[in-house]
A and B are shown apart, each in its own frame.
Chain A
Amino acid sequence: MQTFTIKPFDMPAGAAALREQVRAVIREHVTDGDIVRRANCWQVNDPEFSRVLGKAGLIGMTWPKQYGGHERSALERYIVLEELLSAGAPVGAHWIADRQTAPLLLRYGTEAQRQRWVPGIAAGEIYGCIGLSEPNAGSDLASVRSSARRDGDDWVLNGQKIWTTNAHIAHIMIGLFRSEEGSERNAGLSQFLIPLDTPGITIRPIINLTGEHDFNEVFFDDVRLPADGLVGTEGQGWSQATAELSLERSGPERYLSSHVLVTELIRHAGGSQDAAVLALIGKLASEVWTLRQMSLAVAGRMAAGEDPALEATIVKDLGNSLEQAIPSLIQAVVELDLSSGDALALLTAQLLQVSPSFSLRGGTREILRGIVARGLGLR
């Protein structure tokens, strides 16, 4: 048995030049002195920076040029993402649209949907959000109850989504709705592309534990969409939504959310001889290096047209556990004054507070491990 099918990856020629391009953009535009905004940076919004990236050709890296993409390889896209994340660049505004919304439209959308939305996404001007969770459908996503009903050629949506990251800044939502009345579980679900300025939609903020506004409740009250509000095939919402999961689960954002804190720890260590700190730096480096190997191996296989779903799940579980552990491991070996303005203290405090979400968002630890167990053939 081999738990993880590893195809060694080779980085593309020109990798170094591409990194330098991304770093130059960061040096020029990420000058904000607020270091806390570097933590968990793919949930930090800066539309202006997103537009800069769009102009630099760093969003929609792999998409066809006719939709504003750049027809680069998956590994080139990976390089751009890992450079942005490791530097703590504020990529939250366009992140979901780049990772999920546009790829979904390119795969299942109509020509009209693609032309209407994808170029704006590539430009860093159009943002997306994900409407999966509902008050009574969390881990048990198949219990989604929000409904889509046909009315002539139109669709009429009713119900409620919750925990919707960025609904308040997004232009469109890809939402999972029950399109067949009386259907059960994962049958009878469809995906809809919902412009969030459509009448009947109410978005209410949910303030998170640090006092920030990242996620929302979204209410649908007789929201009327034209026929082409449907994405892909009616009734295939479940398989369409889950087909994208490997991409969502194995990217560098699944282990780099706390990376700037590791960088700060190294700065703190400076010329220090503190064995506990040095050993922790070494341990974190060993784990980050390993996760990068794993995440790149999955990216390589996806680029070759495979769907390494089990491997992607493993990357997310290991990666989330690491990025979640980092602030508390640091707290254990460094004497910190969390009320000070010291960079290490500020970042540790921020990540202690937001890191519980790392093993919840995008599928909880327990759900992921259940998937791994099934992949192992446990019955």
Chain B
Amino acid sequence: MNEQQTMLADMAGSLFSALSHGATVAADWGRIEEMGFAGLLLGEEEGGFGGGWADAGIVFRLAGYHALALPLVEAVVAARLAADAGFAGDGFGTLAEKTEGGIDDGGFTGFLKGVAWGREAGYVVAPSPSGGAMILSPRDAVIEKRQNAADEPRDILRFSGAPVVPVDADIFALGAAARSMQMAGALDAALELAVGYVNDRKQFGKPLGKLQAVQQALAVFACEAAAANSAAVGVAQALDRGDASFEVAAAKARANMAAGLGTSIGHQAHGAIGFTHEYGLHPLTRRLWSWRSEFGGEHHWTMLLGTRIAAAGADNFWAEMVRRSDPVA
């Protein structure tokens, strides 16, 4: 991390740890606005922070690490896309995971699914039925409140002939990239809890952390957390380079795999205490389980990747993968 990124991480870390999973938009969004986080991906001339995806990746990872119960990552991505579209919305923007319906005479009729905090958002960026993305106003929608397994709002918004602003973006891929970064953070946090717990908790006259079976299991968890974190850094780099279609698929699939092992080992190491509402493991693991399905599960992304690789041919797989991170000659 460079100096600016270290400052950013310190700022985000202290705010997010104070807000954590108890935050609400009504009470706490003002503090996110105050610090300008929503403008993370906006240029300084656009009134933003002037950051790239590497910077966003640091903040998104910390949002996951602290189980931040606010639509921060969605707002950051939405703000970037709104600026691209020349759209000036009020309030914060959010993302929809899926769209069903069609555009007729410039009006959208149908519904958006998985809209994070749609009930409180000022605008929503969604996959467009005619390709790319579109921006809509939740004020034009009938809102059905829903939530994921971590109680994060994931609303359904129904529209009838609502005005849309088109924008060129792959929302599903950007959402997947953002989730893979949050998952990396949540995995590290759950690992840290588990390590702390087994060093503390004594059975058979010694800390659990001394037992080789426990050590080996947590080492596996650490490897998975490390993989997810590396993938998240890699996808941010690819987004900063430009086309990240391969890397998004690889990173979200890898994060999903890591979430499976990490949540199960994390809970096992904690015994019954980790199964309580009072203890701080579930805000992480319930998010991991939820995020694992959001913006594409393993099958979605591995099929996409596998189909693409098979179509390009066996002898292009390696060459194409490494070409993507080589500087352009």
A266 CB, min distance to chain B CBs, angstroms:
4
Report the Cα distance A285→B218, complex, angstroms. Answer: 25
Q: Chain B residues with Cβ under 8 A from A278's Cβ?
A: 302-303, 306-307, 310
> Counting CB contacts under 8 A, is A340 at the interface?
no
Are B318 and A259 in contact, CB atoms less than 8 angstroms apart?
yes
Q: Chain B residues with Cβ under 8 A from A263's Cβ?
A: 314-315, 317-318
Are A281 and B306 in contact, CB atoms less than 8 angstroms apart?
yes
Chain B: interface secondary structure? helix
> Counting CB contacts under 8 A, is B142 at the interface?
no
Are A372 and B191 in contact, CB atoms less than 8 angstroms apart?
no
Are A376 and B219 in contact, CB atoms less than 8 angstroms apart?
yes
Question: Which A residues, 284 to 323, have Cβ-Cβ distances below 8 Å to chain B?
Answer: 285-294, 297, 311, 314, 317-318
Q: Chain B residues with Cβ under 8 A from A19's Cβ?
A: 319, 322, 326
Q: How many residue-residue contacts, CB under 8 A, span A and B? A: 194
Number of interface residues of A (CB under 8 A): 62
> Counting CB contacts under 8 A, is A209 at the interface?
no
Question: A266-B313, A290-B230, A293-B230 given as contacts; is B225 within 8 A of A282 (CB)?
Answer: no
A367 CB, min distance to chain B CBs, angstroms:
11
Q: Which of B254, B305, B327 contacts A10 (CB 8 A)?
A: B327
Are A373 and B218 in contact, CB atoms less than 8 angstroms apart?
yes
Q: Which of B198, B209, B229, B305 contacts A281 (CB 8 A)?
A: B305
A256 CB, min distance to chain B CBs, angstroms:
9
Q: Chain A residues with Cβ under 8 A from B209's Cβ?
A: 373, 378-379
Report the Cα distance A67→B230, complex, angstroms. Answer: 36
Are A15 and B215 in contact, CB atoms less than 8 angstroms apart?
no
A25 CB, min distance to chain B CBs, angstroms:
15
Are A13 and B314 in contact, CB atoms less than 8 angstroms apart?
no
Q: Which of B247, B310, B322, B327 contacts A271 (CB 8 A)?
A: B310
Report the Cα distance A293→B234, complex, angstroms. Answer: 7
Report the Cα distance A181→B310, complex, angstroms. Answer: 61
> Counting CB contacts under 8 A, is A341 at the interface?
no
> Counting CB contacts under 8 A, is A86 at the interface?
yes
Question: A16-B329, A282-B305, A376-B195 given as contacts; is B230 within 8 A of A6 (CB)?
Answer: yes
Question: Which B residues, 215 to 237, have Cβ-Cβ distances below 8 Å to chain A?
Answer: 215-216, 218-220, 222-223, 225-227, 229-231, 233-234, 236-237
Are A283 and B216 in contact, CB atoms less than 8 angstroms apart?
no
Q: Chain B residues with Cβ under 8 A from A283's Cβ?
A: 253, 257, 298, 302, 306
Question: A3-B226, A372-B223 given as contacts; is B231 within 8 A of A290 (CB)?
Answer: yes
> Counting CB contacts under 8 A, is A272 at the interface?
yes
| Per-position binary interface string of chain A over residues 258-274, scored 1 when its CB falls under 8 Å from any chain B CB and 0 otherwise | 01001110110111100
Interface residue range, chain B:
35 or more
Report the Cα distance A2→B186, complex, angstroms. Answer: 11
Are A4 and B249 in contact, CB atoms less than 8 angstroms apart?
no
> Counting CB contacts under 8 A, is B273 at the interface?
no
Question: A266-B317, A317-B219 given as contacts; is B327 within 8 A of A282 (CB)?
Answer: no
Residue of B nearest to A378 (CB): B209
Question: A2-B188, A283-B302, A372-B222 given as contacts; is B230 within 8 A of A272 (CB)?
Answer: no
> Counting CB contacts under 8 A, is A154 at the interface?
no
> Counting CB contacts under 8 A, is B145 at the interface?
no
Are B227 and A290 in contact, CB atoms less than 8 angstroms apart?
yes
A130 CB, min distance to chain B CBs, angstroms:
25
Question: A4-B229, A293-B234 given as contacts; is B215 within 8 A of A266 (CB)?
Answer: no
Are B309 and A266 in contact, CB atoms less than 8 angstroms apart?
yes
Report the Cα distance A293→B212, complex, angstroms. Answer: 29
Q: Chain A residues with Cβ under 8 A from B325's Cβ?
A: 11
Residue of B nearest to A285 (CB): B305
Question: Which of B210, B315, B327 is the most central at the interface, judged by chain A CB atoms within 10 Å of its CB?
Answer: B327
Are B219 and A282 in contact, CB atoms less than 8 angstroms apart?
no
| Per-position binary interface string of chain A over residues 354-379, scored 1 when its CB falls under 8 Å from any chain B CB and 0 otherwise | 00000000000010111011011111
28 contacts between A and B (CB under 8 A): A1-B192, A8-B54, A8-B237, A16-B329, A19-B322, A262-B317, A267-B315, A278-B303, A282-B304, A285-B302, A285-B309, A286-B231, A286-B250, A289-B231, A289-B234, A289-B247, A289-B321, A293-B233, A294-B226, A297-B233, A369-B216, A369-B220, A370-B215, A373-B216, A376-B218, A378-B195, A378-B209, A378-B214
Q: Which 8 A-B pairs have the closest CB atoms?
A: A282-B302, A282-B306, A278-B306, A282-B305, A4-B226, A369-B219, A373-B215, A267-B314
Could you tell me which B residues sit within 8 Å of A by CB distance? 54, 188-189, 191-192, 195, 198-199, 207, 209-210, 212, 214-216, 218-220, 222-223, 225-227, 229-231, 233-234, 236-237, 246-247, 249-251, 253-254, 257, 298-299, 301-307, 309-311, 313-315, 317-319, 321-323, 325-327, 329
